[in-house]
Amino acid sequence: MSIAVEMNYEFDRPALETGRKEKTNMKRWIKVGVFVVLGMWTATVVGAAEVATKDECVSKVKAVAAMVKEQGPEAAIAKVNDPKSEFTWKDSYVFLLDAETGVTLAHPANPKLVGKMMTGLKDSNGKMFFVEFLNVANGKGEGWVDYSWPKPGETTPSPKSTYVLKIPGTNLIAAAGIYP
């Protein structure tokens, strides 16, 4: 013997306010619950995206410098331009510049920048940060440059800090940044 049961719930409050009885079933509330849980999980995963650290930037930039010495500039440029290489990680990436001209030689996040001179670019505060990249790298040899730049997928500028290194014995600057 089988018994079919249909569960309907009546909410008296809407009935009092609207003058009609609102009926719903358990399946509808389960679906709503699943959507709410999935939405909360998605927001948690997206909000918990991994961010690069200063130590990682320095380590990755120095690894590119070692690659230049071991395999030559062409191999390093090709590797850095590959967005699937180890030099693109979390929310950061290494990029390469010509130390004299400021021309971008490798940029895995925006290949359209390769071959372009970026020294005229200003951040939202008017800072010519590519000029500062060149000044720091050609002066001290390495250091951090702070400026404002939109995070990937955003249009509003955020504080950004980029580590730059003039690769010894070359005319190359390797750099990688974080959003602190």
% of the chain residues with pLDDT over 70: 73
**How many CB atoms neighbour CB 133 within 10 A?**
25
Residues 26 and 100 in one domain: no
pLDDT at position 33: 42
pLDDT band of 38, cuts 50, 70, 90: very low
Strands 104-106 and 92-98: antiparallel
The whole domain housing 41 covers 8-47
Residues 15 and 85 in one domain: no
Backbone torsion region of residue 140, taken as left when φ is above 0, otherwise alpha when ψ lies between -120 and 50, otherwise beta: alpha
Residues 20 and 68 in one domain: no
* Alpha-carbon gap, residue 27 to 35, rounded angstroms: 12
Backbone torsion region of residue 149, taken as left when φ is above 0, otherwise alpha when ψ lies between -120 and 50, otherwise beta: beta
Specify the 3-state DSSP secondary structure of 88.
Answer: strand
171 within a domain of the structure (yes/no): yes
pLDDT at position 40: 40
pLDDT at position 29: 40
Mean pLDDT of 164-176: 98
Query: What's the domain count of the chain?
Result: 2
Give me the chain's average pLDDT, please: 84
pLDDT at position 107: 97
**E runs forming strands in 66-166:** 88-89, 92-98, 104-106, 142-150, 157-166
pTM for the whole structure? 0.73
Per-residue pLDDT reduced to its tens digit, 63-122? 999 999 999 999 999 999 999 999 999 999 999 999 999 999 999 999 999 999 999 999
pLDDT at position 152: 80
pLDDT at position 3: 58
How many residues comprise the chain? Answer: 180
Residue 142 or residue 11, greater confidence: 142
Residues 38 and 101 in one domain: no
pLDDT at position 35: 42
